Structure 1
């Protein structure tokens, strides 16, 4: 029924949020990667902000 569909959908959303959060903190654990993977600084930008 509709309730089962909504429960499954809620579980999918929660699992996606957990996976994305874990991946984010794993990515940020490396000090060289303090920026997001989709918007990385170039080498000149890094040296300008030192």
Structure 2
């Protein structure tokens, strides 16, 4: 899950760079969606680690 979060973060940065370069709304939507996915995967990873400690 952590690797998926890192992948989403990298993709979000790529989309953000493309959005700054060309300023399309589509790139901005892609950046936001990958950033949200990355946060979700990171949250799932942290939640699993906390549950495994109990």
Q: Which TM-score band (shorter chain)?
A: 0.5 to 0.7
Gaps (5+ residues) in structure 2?
Answer: 1-23
Out of 25, 28, 39, the position equivalent to 1:5 is 28
In 1: Cα distance, 2:53 partner to 2:27 partner: 41
Partner of 2:5: none
Superposed CA RMSD: 0.5
Runs of 4+ in structure 1 displaced over 6 angstroms? none
Query: Based on CA coordinates, which of the two structures has the bigger radius of gyration?
Result: 1
Which structure would you say has the larger RCO, counting Cα contacts within 8 Å and 6 or more residues apart? 2
TM-score if structure 1 supplies the norm length? 0.60
In 1: Cα distance, 2:42 partner to 2:53 partner: 18
Gaps (5+ residues) in structure 1?
Answer: 32-50
**Hey, which of these two has a bigger chunk of helix by percent?**
2
